[in-house]
Chains A and B, each alone.
Chain A
Amino acid sequence: MTPADRRAVITGVGAVAPGGHGREAYWDLLTAGRTATRRISLFDPAGFRSRVAAECDFDPLAAGLTPQEVRRMDRAGQFAVVAAREAVADSGIELPGADPERVAVSIGSAVGCTTGLEEEYAVLSDGGRHWLVDHSYGVPHLYGHMVPSTLAVEVARQAGAEGPVALISTGCTSGLDAIGHAVQLIEEGTADVVLAGATDAPLSPITSACFDAIKATTANNDDPEHASRPFDGRRDGFVLGEGSAVMVIEELESARRRGATVYAEILGFAGRSNAFHMTGLKPDGREMAEAIRVALDRARLDPGDIDYINAHGSGTKQNDRHETAAFKRSLGQRAREVPISSIKSMIGHSLGAIGSLEIAACALALRHQVVPPTANLSTPDPECDLDYVPVTAREHRMDRVLSVGSGFGGFQTAMVLGRPSARHGEAA
């Protein structure tokens, strides 16, 4: 089979997200338009500029992890393993299977195990008192926190994977890029099954402090439930979140052979970099538009074929305008016709993980034919003049959807998903 004949489809979805446990609760939250943002409870946020976050109510033991797994894994690792187990169960695939070399893992994460790394730092340095930190307080799994690759290792152990295992870390596009990497592995023939997704648990003092320092996060501390306001004129920065989505991605024919139910096919994927600034975006959206154009080209689709856009929609002024410009630049008139929404309005921005949660949302949207809304969008920014599906979910006929991401470092990624058999030239 040629690469174009080896098609990558999603057959299982697992999610750990703010506002509820598991895939079903996640979809309920998104379609209800409920926000999961609140005052930070995972640490005392007093003294921080931004004190709002979208937290997961996550009990690792109740979620099925053993005491040793809980001790060994950072919170981000715990999320990923729980999401991976749900995805595998959902897909009905038997893992470890008969051919572990054909099973790969591709997990994205922007900041790895920083929460664990910071907690241990605080002890080893005795509250920052000692530059020469005290190694006698080191925990046995400390190195596992220092290298983000641990997150992929933990998922790979769950699957008994002996194929390629990768941790992809391209900032806030890590999730989309990790899923894109999975598609490459399937198309080139290296793997038949990939556990792909992303995880981040960045709600810790050091991450909050570094976003405070550049005023990227919201200071709307008095009204946490309405603090994440993508495309709204009253937005003032993003709301940090956490979570993970992991998906079972399979080669279509082998998925069919085992009678799997397909959520969606990944039809096209492309990344571009703006080579402009580590955190800044040019208002013209030029490189994101190019990523969208190439993703559509690879999917052999036209702008008119796109029925919904899952936006990056972080809720910073520069992102929302950059992205709106990118949609107009790449899709022309279609940008004004198609519903667009940002689920970060409800679950915040979980950095590298968010791309995987957004692709999971796209897969669920295609299955249920419902567009999740952009919550809190009540006073539109006049410069963001497209249909962002304010406040209320919308039933909508969708065959093909676009999801985009944009991240620190200049990364711009676009991915096109379709209902099963929604490829160009096939009846959907």
Chain B
Amino acid sequence: MSASGIRPGRRGRSVVTGIGVVAPTGIGAARHWESVLAGKSGIGRITRFDPTGYPVRVAGEVPGFRAGEQVPGRLVPQTDRFTHFALAAAEDALADAAADPATLPEYEMAVVTASSSGGTEFGQHEMENLYQQGSSWVGAYQSIAWFYAATTGQVSIRHGMRGPCGVICGEQAGGLDALGQSRRLLDTGSRLVLSGGTDASLCPYGLVAQLSTGHLSTEDDPARAYLPFDAAASGFVPGEGGAILVVENAEAARARGVPSYGELLGYAAGFDPTADGTAARHSVLVSVIHRALTDAGLTPDAVDMVFADASGVPAEDLAEARAITEVFGPGGVPVTAPKTLTGRLYAGGAALDVATALLALSAGVVPHTAGLGRPAPGCEIDLVLDRPRQTDPRTALVLARGHGGFTSALLVGAGDRPLRAQPA
């Protein structure tokens, strides 16, 4: 065994046995998947506060989430909305995986989540208390609700998971990095890991901070605001929500007798130190894709669909399209971005993309990218438009890039848990 606990021999297989979703497209994996197939967007005018005075007025909000019903009552006032989402999604994922943590060895279960900005709304409230009323008005829960580890800590406590828990921040790429880390944990003695990410920074300060990147679309029409790879692309729409997955050692899942949505086949992460936030070099993405393929022991022709990062910022779209073309050839692989239905969910974004990819593999379809019109010049990719393709894909590559230069790729393969291609 090595210093970090890696055992000799081949890496074990990591499978996903449970999916929990809280997203603008719906609460629960089934509702989310119905929305994806129907191309039903969750983007609309911001309702959580009055956005009239801001240049960005549309976002992807989670509809009908009632923390009081979906989160243990005691935890509602102690935690921010991003943790509410994760607690609800973790509960769903465990139920979906038919996993009862009370029956599993406590030190062999862990939680590793991505966080991008922590408890933003909770923090704004407490800073308002501080600046308006004084330090003694700051509540006792600020110390545990605002920080980036709040979600992992609360989920670990809720389910008695005492293994090596973690939190990884890589902005929009963090979700893939958390899943990559879950695989490392399964290689070093854990058998079940709750992993993924959620974000909820749709409060005034959260939105205003996001404005400073200049990457948000100022388009008011929800149907026109987030059009990645499109000639009319004008940036992206922010969203909230995400996904939590149950990732298990394949043998442990088999021993429990549960099927899997799919397997984490390969993962790689890289960085573009020259990225200034507008145009990450496509060469870094190319390298990361190749490394993820090598990690999986696969070649590009084994990839049946690509879930794009799909920034919506024209220069970034172009870089991503060039990277995909360089690896797979012009039009060499179907590319899709169902995130046009939700907006970009930061820590939750890549985790939700992986959930969608696994659902697509289980259903045997390539979901489409709703709402796009004419591809931007130079984007020589086979974008799946208008309707899903029933091509029975067996593998999917999920790409993610995070603010500042984070670049990650995760390859997933089909499992043995079939899903109806069309909702009943």
Residues of A at the B interface (CB closer than 8 Å) are 2-4, 6-8, 47-49, 96, 100-101, 105, 110-112, 117-118, 121-122, 124-125, 127-129, 131-133, 135, 138-150, 152-153, 156-157, 159-171, 177, 180, 183-184, 187-188, 205-206, 208-214, 216, 266-279, 287, 290, 294, 297-300, 407-411, 416
Most buried by B among A101, A166, A180, A408: A166
Residues of B within 8 A of A101 (CB): 270, 287, 291
> Is B103 among interface residues, defined by CB-CB distance under 8 A?
no
List 5 A–B pairs whose Cβ atoms lie within 8 Å, in order of A's numbering: A131-B49, A162-B271, A278-B153, A409-B153, A410-B153
Q: A162-B273, A170-B166 are in contact. Are A138 and B208 (CB under 8 A)?
A: yes
Stretch in B137-145, B299-307, B313-321, B358-366 touching the partner? B137-145
B267 to chain A, nearest CB (A): 10
- Within the assembled complex, what's the spacing in Å between the Cα atoms of A266 and B3? 7
> Is B35 among interface residues, defined by CB-CB distance under 8 A?
no
Residues of B within 8 A of A129 (CB): 132
Q: Does A3 lie within 8 Å of B54, measured CB to CB?
A: no
Residues of A within 8 A of B406 (CB): 149, 153, 165
Q: Does A188 lie within 8 Å of B184, measured CB to CB?
A: yes
Q: Does B117 lie within 8 Å of A147, measured CB to CB?
A: yes
> Is B130 among interface residues, defined by CB-CB distance under 8 A?
yes
- Within the assembled complex, what's the spacing in Å between the Cα atoms of A213 and B54? 34
> Is B289 among interface residues, defined by CB-CB distance under 8 A?
no
**Residue on B with the closest CB to A120?**
B209
- Give the secondary structure class of B's interface: mixed
- Within the assembled complex, what's the spacing in Å between the Cα atoms of A163 and B189? 25
Q: Which one, B142, B159, B162, contacts A209 given CB within 8 A?
A: B142
Residues of B within 8 A of A214 (CB): 140, 143
Q: Does B144 lie within 8 Å of A169, measured CB to CB?
A: no
Q: Given contacts A100-B273, A152-B169, A160-B273, could you give 10 more A-B pairs where the C-beta distance is less than 8 Å?
A: A2-B8, A128-B127, A128-B132, A162-B284, A212-B138, A213-B138, A271-B164, A272-B164, A278-B153, A407-B149
Q: Does B208 lie within 8 Å of A142, measured CB to CB?
A: yes
- Within the assembled complex, what's the spacing in Å between the Cα atoms of A118 and B130? 11
Q: A135-B208, A165-B406 are in contact. Are A7 and B53 (CB under 8 A)?
A: no
B71 to chain A, nearest CB (A): 15
- Give the secondary structure class of A's interface: mixed
Q: A210-B138, A212-B138, A269-B4 are in contact. Are A278 and B169 (CB under 8 A)?
A: no
- Within the assembled complex, what's the spacing in Å between the Cα atoms of A48 and B138? 11
- Within the assembled complex, what's the spacing in Å between the Cα atoms of A146 and B210? 8
Q: Does A275 lie within 8 Å of B405, measured CB to CB?
A: no
Residues of A within 8 A of B177 (CB): 164, 166
Q: Does A162 lie within 8 Å of B3, measured CB to CB?
A: no
B167 to chain A, nearest CB (A): 5
- Within the assembled complex, what's the spacing in Å between the Cα atoms of A157 and B127? 32
Q: Which one, A121, A171, A183, A287, contacts B147 given CB within 8 A?
A: A171
Residues of B within 8 A of A187 (CB): 2-4, 6
Q: Does A47 lie within 8 Å of B135, measured CB to CB?
A: yes
- Within the assembled complex, what's the spacing in Å between the Cα atoms of A78 and B137? 31
Stretch in B118-126, B367-375, B384-392 touching the partner? B118-126
Residues of B within 8 A of A266 (CB): 3
- Within the assembled complex, what's the spacing in Å between the Cα atoms of A187 and B160? 29
In the complex, per-residue mask of B87-117: 1 if CB is within 8 Å of any chain A CB, else 0: 0000000000000000000110011000111
**Residue on A with the closest CB to B138?**
A209
- Within the assembled complex, what's the spacing in Å between the Cα atoms of A6 and B8? 12
Q: Does A213 lie within 8 Å of B165, measured CB to CB?
A: no
Stretch in B198-206, B246-254, B414-422 touching the partner? B198-206
B403 to chain A, nearest CB (A): 6
Q: Does B271 lie within 8 Å of A156, measured CB to CB?
A: yes
Q: Does A213 lie within 8 Å of B140, measured CB to CB?
A: yes
In the complex, per-residue mask of B149-175: 1 if CB is within 8 Å of any chain A CB, else 0: 110111011011111111111110010
Residues of B at the A interface (CB closer than 8 Å) are 1-6, 8, 49-50, 53-55, 78, 106-107, 110-111, 115-118, 120, 123-124, 126-132, 134-136, 138-140, 142-144, 146-150, 152-154, 156-157, 159-171, 174, 177, 184, 188-189, 201, 204-206, 208-213, 268-273, 284, 287, 291, 402-406
Residues of B within 8 A of A299 (CB): 3
Give 4 closest A-B pairs by Cβ, nearest first. A128-B131, A409-B153, A153-B404, A271-B164
Q: Does A184 lie within 8 Å of B164, measured CB to CB?
A: no
Q: Which one, B106, B142, B270, contacts A210 given CB within 8 A?
A: B142
**Residue on A with the closest CB to B127?**
A121
Q: Does A411 lie within 8 Å of B3, measured CB to CB?
A: no
- Within the assembled complex, what's the spacing in Å between the Cα atoms of A270 and B162? 12
Q: Does B4 lie within 8 Å of A180, measured CB to CB?
A: yes
- Within the assembled complex, what's the spacing in Å between the Cα atoms of A168 and B272? 19
Q: Does B284 lie within 8 Å of A208, measured CB to CB?
A: no
- Within the assembled complex, what's the spacing in Å between the Cα atoms of A216 and B144? 12
Most buried by A among B107, B131, B201, B273: B273
Q: Does B135 lie within 8 Å of A149, measured CB to CB?
A: no
- Within the assembled complex, what's the spacing in Å between the Cα atoms of A214 and B201? 25
Q: Does A112 lie within 8 Å of B124, measured CB to CB?
A: no
Q: Does B164 lie within 8 Å of A169, measured CB to CB?
A: no
Residues of A within 8 A of B166 (CB): 168, 170, 177, 271
Q: Does A164 lie within 8 Å of B269, measured CB to CB?
A: yes
A217 to chain B, nearest CB (A): 10
Q: Which one, A150, A279, A294, contacts B144 given CB within 8 A?
A: A279
Q: Does A124 lie within 8 Å of B5, measured CB to CB?
A: no
**Residue on A with the closest CB to B54?**
A135
Q: Does B50 lie within 8 Å of A132, measured CB to CB?
A: yes
Q: Does A275 lie within 8 Å of B106, measured CB to CB?
A: yes
Residues of A within 8 A of B136 (CB): 47, 49, 209, 212-213
- Within the assembled complex, what's the spacing in Å between the Cα atoms of A212 and B271? 39
Q: Does A184 lie within 8 Å of B4, measured CB to CB?
A: yes
Q: A2-B8, A133-B208 are in contact. Are A149 and B402 (CB under 8 A)?
A: yes
Q: Which one, A2, A156, A168, A272, contacts B405 given CB within 8 A?
A: A156
